[in-house]
Amino acid sequence: MDRLFEFVINHYILVSLFAAFLLAIVVLESRRGGAKISAQGAITLINKDEAFVLDIRDRKEFNEGRITGSVNIPLNSLKSRVNELSKHKEKQIVVVDKMGQHSAMAVKQLNAEGFANVVRLNGGIADWKGSNLPLVKK
């Protein structure tokens, strides 16, 4: 540990640059996928009928439990099936995945297709389950 402090003191410019790059990467990655919404925020929008829930998980995971009213379009077929979402362009689209990792890619694709109101569920369906919110099973 003493050697770490010695290194930091002797190479403060190098350590400062590393910290700045690390911070820049974290900030850029957090902004890249669009806005996030909490499970409670999503419930509010869904109950007011102001949101459309798009589940991008595989069919098998979708059938194990889904948010009421959600539609399943797997991420790998989103580009070819984006026309199915055109009737929901005026609503807020909430993108849901397993743990919140892949939804950023879906948000980016939907934004490129002209959808302006797209957010991702923070933490995905795992956070939804963790909040003890209901899931529909087929």
Distance from chain centroid for Cα 118 = 10
CATH architecture of 34-131: 3-Layer(aba) Sandwich (3.40)
Confidence of residue 138 (pLDDT cuts 50, 70, 90): low
* pLDDT tens by residue, 60-85: 999 999 999 999 999 999 999 999 99
Which pair of structure tokens corresponds to residue 75? Answer: 């991420």
Give me the residue spans of the domains in the chain: 1-33, 34-131
pTM exceeding the 0.85 threshold for the entire prediction: no
Beta strands in the chain (DSSP E): 36-37, 51-55, 71-72, 92-96, 118-121
**How far apart are alpha carbons 1 and 14 in whole angstroms?**
18
